[in-house]
Amino acid sequence: MLVKDLMSASVISVKPDDTYEQISFIMRCEDIGIVPVCDIQNHLLGVITDRDMIMRQGLGNTAEKIMTKSPVTVNSGDDIHQAALKFSKYGIRRLPVLDSGRLVGMLSFKDLAKKKFLAAEIGHILYNICNFK
């Protein structure tokens, strides 16, 4: 199974010059914990998590100042097991999905949990997320 078969294709992103207030509003209204930051061609520049919003609030008022640059990503054509390894290795719960460098979706730990054949990976990922340093 490939990443594109499990990912969510409808992803809300922000631009580098969007403000803290705009990003906060989007995250609240859409009930999401991560927002990709993209340029006008939809190339991924970084991501902003709800934790970033709290921890980096004093660093600036724009997405460019708050975002995590060079986030861990997967490609839409990657095998789902490769994505599972990234979740586990980096202790993360969401991965931006790229196709030719452009954002095409988001894959979450929850997306993997829906597939019973990934049960062993799910346990390993959950352990690593809980114990990530």
What the chain holds in terms of domains, given with CATH numbers, is: 3-130 (3.10.580.10)
Tell me how far apart the alpha carbons of residues 116 and 93 are, in angstroms, rounded to a whole number: 18
Mean pLDDT calculated for residue range 120-124? 58
The reported pLDDT for the residue numbered 57 is: 81
The reported pLDDT for the residue numbered 96 is: 97
Which two tokens mark 123? 């346990």
The dihedral of CA 70, 72, 74, 79: what is its sign? positive
Query: Global pTM?
Result: 0.83
According to DSSP H, which parts of 70-118 are helical? 80-90, 109-113
Tell me how far apart the alpha carbons of residues 43 and 85 are, in angstroms, rounded to a whole number: 24
Question: CA separation (Å) from 5 to 2, 34, 39, 106?
Answer: 5, 21, 25, 11
Tell me how far apart the alpha carbons of residues 48 and 16 are, in angstroms, rounded to a whole number: 11
**Which among 65, 49, 56, 59 has a CA at the least distance from the CA of 17?**
65
**Angle of the 80-90 helix axis to the 119-130 helix axis, nearest 10:** 20
Q: Write out pLDDT tens, residues 44-90.
A: 999 999 999 999 888 889 999 999 999 999 999 998 888 888 888 88
